[in-house]
């Protein structure tokens, strides 16, 4: 099945040191970051395609204010139980706190000039952010999503985007989870009822569709 896209935005979700480096928040919580890092090549492929063809690229970062005033008690307590208390000192700085070294992006996926960065306190990229306004100003109604984790921040964003009326493609090999079963289940959920949450495609397929759409626009 061919993919018909027309000026989508690429949404890169939470490719941060705190989630991807062996001394970050995820590792402190006992997650296998080597599995999370499997998303990096696919994300890089999509970033390269988007940059070649001047697509809008938006990067998100999950994290909190330094005083933790935007961190719900339930989330804080969950992090305590996981052994990675939000705001506590870690090898990469205070865990999941904005401005700390661990909160920023891994070097190989760092934004370039002109790309948008959205800091979010929750799981969905739409929650308490200006993402919808940014997309609305540019009249964008199609999204390509990638990032981590598949079953949490990626899926939360995808589901809200669908409810808001966006057409969505999820790059299955450019997403990852620390639990391969959860990753596959999250991908499988997208396709139910004829694609209730959009379509799952590979990074290569989506990169080719971006290129084809760009050629048609010339």
Structure tokens at 32: 């296998």
- Would you state the pLDDT for residue 218? 31
Per the CB < 8 A criterion, the answer to whether 170 and 141 are in contact is no
- Would you state the pLDDT for residue 200? 97
Domain ranges of the chain: 9-217
**pTM value?**
0.95
Per-residue pLDDT tens for 24-54?
999 999 999 999 999 999 999 999 999 999 9
Phi, psi of 125 (to 5 degrees): -70, -15
Element (H, E) at 89: strand 89-90
Give the Cα separation of 51 and 54 in Å (integer).
5
Give the Cα separation of 202 and 138 in Å (integer).
26
- Would you state the pLDDT for residue 7? 80
> Tokens 């080719």 sit at which residue?
208
Q: Give strand pairing partners of 94.
A: 89
3 state SS for 138-169 = CCCCEEEEEEECHHHHHHHHHHHHHHCCCEEE
- pLDDT > 60? residue 191: yes
Mean of the pLDDT values across residues 5-34?
95
Structure tokens at 145: 């999503």
Per the CB < 8 A criterion, the answer to whether 19 and 147 are in contact is no
- pLDDT > 70? residue 102: yes
- pLDDT > 60? residue 96: yes
- Would you state the pLDDT for residue 214? 67
- Would you state the pLDDT for residue 217? 45
Q: For strand 89-90 and strand 93-94, is the pairing parallel, antiparallel, or unpaired?
A: antiparallel
- Would you state the pLDDT for residue 5? 73
Per-residue pLDDT tens for 65-91?
999 999 999 999 999 999 999 999 999
Any idea what DSSP says for residue 129? Answer: S
Per the CB < 8 A criterion, the answer to whether 25 and 76 are in contact is no
What CATH code is assigned to 9-217? 3.40.50.850
- pLDDT > 90? residue 215: no
> Tokens 């070649």 sit at which residue?
52
Per-residue pLDDT tens for 123-134?
999 999 999 999
**3-state class (DSSP) for residue 137:** helix
Per the CB < 8 A criterion, the answer to whether 6 and 213 are in contact is yes
Q: Give strand pairing partners of 90.
A: 93
As a whole-number percent, the residues of the chain with pLDDT over 70 amount to: 96
* Active site residues per annotation: 14, 120, 153
- Would you state the pLDDT for residue 164? 98
The separation between the first and the last C-alpha atoms of the chain, rounded to the nearest angstrom, is 23
């Amino acid at each position: 099945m061919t993919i018909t896209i027309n000026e989508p935005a690429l949404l890169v979700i939470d490719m941060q040191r705190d989630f991807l480096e062996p001394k970050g928040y995820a590792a402190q919580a006992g997650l296998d970051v080597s599995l999370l890092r499997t998303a990096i090549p696919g994300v890089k492929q999509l970033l390269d395609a988007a940059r070649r063809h001047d697509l809008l690229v938006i990067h998100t970062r999950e994290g909190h204010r330094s005083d933790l005033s935007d961190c719900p008690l339930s989330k804080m307590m969950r992090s305590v139980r996981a052994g990675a208390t939000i705001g506590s000192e870690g090898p990469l700085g205070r865990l999941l706190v904005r401005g700390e070294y661990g909160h920023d992006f891994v070097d190989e996926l760092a934004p370039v000039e002109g790309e948008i960065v959205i800091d979010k306190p929750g799981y969905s990229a739409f929650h308490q952010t200006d993402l919808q306004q940014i997309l609305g100003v540019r009249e964008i109604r199609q999204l390509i999503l990638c990032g981590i984790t598949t079953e949490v921040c990626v899926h939360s964003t995808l589901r809200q985007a669908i409810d808001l009326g966006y057409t969505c493609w999820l790059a299955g090999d450019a997403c990852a989870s620390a639990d391969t079963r959860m990753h596959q289940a999250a991908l499988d959920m997208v396709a139910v009822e004829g694609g209730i949450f959009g379509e799952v495609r590979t990074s290569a397929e989506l990169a080719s569709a971006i290129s084809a759409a760009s050629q048609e626009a010339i």
